[in-house]
Chains A and B, each alone.
Chain A
């Protein structure tokens, strides 16, 4: 049997961001995989040390396009911890609302990408069409589809008017109905099952050993969800349901995320129905006394950790970002060997990789 090296990336129709996955193939089977990242490393941690805390919010927002709000939430939260501030309830609620909307649009994007990877273009078109609804809502609320600029240190920048609240609720109700297409897909579609069931197994021991987080880990049976384990902001008053599967294959990842979408819609509705009154933001000083803080947030892909240290000046002494895609990429090297070439696309697309996050 011939042995060839199939380079998936750095440019490949399958992957949307540059990454190099070198696969050694024996006939139709993968014998070994080697993952290399760093193609979009922009040195953002170093840049953050040379920008004020306020400017840092804009930098951090651009670490990733899909989970930009999670990054700004984590960063602002960390700086607020440095200052020992508790931001107003209304700001917390708006932050949480955007977090959940972002989770929705990220999962819909992921579903479309997975469908495209397994040749199911119809679902790709449907998923991204629904995603447009969410992007429109986010634009209505914050003015931006992807980079919202909604968070400031000390709270949020803009308020939600009652009209916006009503419009959001309408769109969410419509989306809940459309979601049945995707639940049907995951539960009943035979061709989807054929391409995702039993493929790309990630046993729970590997999840723990490699520190995998997010829906990827929850599809294998892990329970870590920062919103439940260490609630932050408005999540301290919300009950977040669990979506945990033990199948550990690509199908389980799809099922977990579709469940999470449904939960997110419910959470959004609950937030906007009980939106507390109050201020939007607190004033914060420009210089921050020496302190350290760790902030954890559940981004769409998993646990996002920010470590921020201040030294009394206007700029942070150190900002360290650990994004949830990093452990997933690491465990890829263990998940890919043994697969058929036809399944590589499903596994790689099903892992919800975000290289911009990983490389920073």
Chain B
């Protein structure tokens, strides 16, 4: 099952350079690269196309510079938006789609990425007293 052409066409207007790729993530996902500044527009294009957009998860990965965010969506089949955030910050999806609220808080907890526009970016899983670095951020290799 693949993402319908209508959706891809809708996205093509917002993300003209993105080439849909079905191989980089196994499991039937269609992957599209999306710069952080176009993220909200891409979502609006998807929701305006008429389908129900289900946000399954937001995976945050440390990248060589900044963070890589994967937005795993389900719109009759799997669609992943790959957002590379070189400055470790991204626009918050929460005002458009409240489902993103806790996923963004968790990414902030675990990797320290800042979501601009998030109504309440408090720690979700980490204790309030946690003063160490974000647990999943790339750390200096120690002998541990």
Residue B39 interfacial (CB < 8 Å): no
Residue A253 interfacial (CB < 8 Å): no
The answer to whether B25 and A229 touch across the interface, beta carbons within 8 angstroms, is no
A293 with B101: in contact, given A45-B136, A208-B54, A307-B72 (CB under 8 Å)? no
Which of A43, A210, A292 is B26 in contact with, Cβ under 8 Å? A292
Which of A41, A293, A303, A360 is B25 in contact with, Cβ under 8 Å? A293
Which of B57, B98, B110, B123 is A307 in contact with, Cβ under 8 Å? B57
Contact code string A271-312 (vs B, CB < 8 Å = 1, else 0): 000000000000000000001111110000001010101000
The answer to whether B54 and A318 touch across the interface, beta carbons within 8 angstroms, is no
The answer to whether B99 and A210 touch across the interface, beta carbons within 8 angstroms, is yes
Contact code string A134-161 (vs B, CB < 8 Å = 1, else 0): 0000000000000000000000000000
Nearest chain-A residue to B53 (Cβ)? A208
The interface residues of chain A lying within 8 Å CB-to-CB of B56 are 211, 296, 303, 305, 322
The answer to whether A41 and B27 touch across the interface, beta carbons within 8 angstroms, is no
Give chain A's interface secondary structure class.
mixed
Which of A38, A49, A209, A305 is B123 in contact with, Cβ under 8 Å? A38
Interface size, chain A (Cβ < 8 Å): 38
The answer to whether A318 and B102 touch across the interface, beta carbons within 8 angstroms, is no
The interface residues of chain A lying within 8 Å CB-to-CB of B103 are 322, 326
Residue A82 interfacial (CB < 8 Å): yes
Interface size, chain B (Cβ < 8 Å): 37
Nearest chain-B residue to A42 (Cβ)? B125
Residue A330 interfacial (CB < 8 Å): yes
16 A-B Cβ contacts within 8 A?
A: A38-B123, A38-B124, A45-B110, A82-B26, A84-B26, A208-B54, A224-B54, A305-B56, A305-B57, A305-B72, A318-B59, A318-B61, A320-B59, A320-B60, A326-B103, A327-B102
Other 18 A-B pairs with CB < 8 A, given A45-B136, A81-B26, A211-B55: A37-B125, A38-B125, A84-B26, A208-B54, A209-B97, A211-B54, A293-B25, A293-B26, A294-B29, A305-B56, A305-B57, A307-B59, A307-B70, A309-B61, A318-B59, A320-B59, A322-B103, A330-B98
Which A residues form the contact surface with B (CB < 8 A)? 37-38, 41, 43, 45-46, 49, 78, 81-82, 84, 208-211, 213, 224, 229-230, 291-296, 303, 305, 307, 309, 318, 320, 322, 326-327, 329-330, 359-360
